[in-house]
Amino acid sequence: MSGEDPIFARNVPGSTAILAAATVGIAGCGGLGSNAAVALVRAGVGRLILVDQDVVEASNLNRQYFFRRDLGRLKVEALADHLRAINPGVALELHALALRAEEVPRVYAGAALLIEAFDRADAKRWLIEAWCRAFPERTVICASGLSGLGRTEALRVRRAGRIILCGDEQSEASEGLCAARVAIVAAMEANLAIEALVAAATAGS
């Protein structure tokens, strides 16, 4: 269906059908997760599993893909509306819950890969461990170090096995967070996911 959809007319040839058939898990719908989700839906990813327990607060609007009218709404529900406003055909599985490690196998059972988009470093760590334990063959794309201003050159990608991590691996949220820098790293995560999905489908065909 999406291969015919005019919103994807300018897509990279060969990518649309692959992405339409893909399911991506996203853990956290804040600065990283909301912006990554938008990039994935615009690219044509057919199905997302979104997990976040929080509601939209005013302090989120400096970097997260929400609007004033979303204040007080569950992030997963507000984000779902924005994603459907881009592509009404996107399939969304929403989980408004505080994810725990033991729930990772059930919640993300259908996801080909995971985008880690949590805020806290300790949560990032247990999520990476839980994902690798639950899905020994699947990739997890993580972010670490996206705070502060500028320093675009410091944002990089490192890979080890099925773990891909982007960011500067240094800057801390206590420095403050800026939309442009957070969105770069969110887009890096989405870009890596798209690359992995297309590469896997091409290798398997």
Partner 1 sequence: MVIVNDRDRVDWREGLTVQGLLDAMGYSYNLITVTVNGELIPEEEYGSAPVPDEARVTVFHLAHGG
Contact between 24 and partner 1 by CB under 8 A: the answer reads no
Position of tokens 């599993």?
A: 49
In the complex, the smallest distance separating the C-beta of residue 177 from partner 1, rounded to whole angstroms, is: 6
In the complex, the smallest distance separating the C-beta of residue 152 from partner 1, rounded to whole angstroms, is: 16
Residue 50 pairs in a beta bridge with 26, 94
Contact between 161 and partner 1 by CB under 8 A: the answer reads yes
Among 124, 135, 141, 192, binds partner 1 (CB under 8 A): 124
Among 42, 73, 82, 125, binds partner 1 (CB under 8 A): 125
Contact between 169 and partner 1 by CB under 8 A: the answer reads yes
Instruction: State how far the Cα of 141 lies from the Cα of 25, in Å rounded to an integer.
Output: 10
Instruction: State how far the Cα of 121 lies from the Cα of 36, in Å rounded to an integer.
Output: 18
Q: What would the two tokens of residue 69 be?
A: 């009218």
In the complex, the smallest distance separating the C-beta of residue 15 from partner 1, rounded to whole angstroms, is: 27
CA 70 vs. chain centroid, Å, equals: 19
Site string for partner 1, 27-66 (x = CB under 8 A): -x-xxxx---------------------------------
Question: Quick one: 18 or 117, whose CB is closer to partner 1?
Answer: 117
Instruction: State how far the Cα of 29 lies from the Cα of 109, in Å rounded to an integer.
Output: 19
What are the CB-based long-range contacts (under 8 Å, 24+) for 3-9?
A: 5/44, 5/87, 5/89, 7/86, 7/87, 8/44
Instruction: Name the site residues for partner 1 (rule: CB under 8 A).
Output: 28, 30-33, 117-122, 124-125, 128-129, 132-133, 142-147, 158, 160-163, 165, 167-174, 177, 182
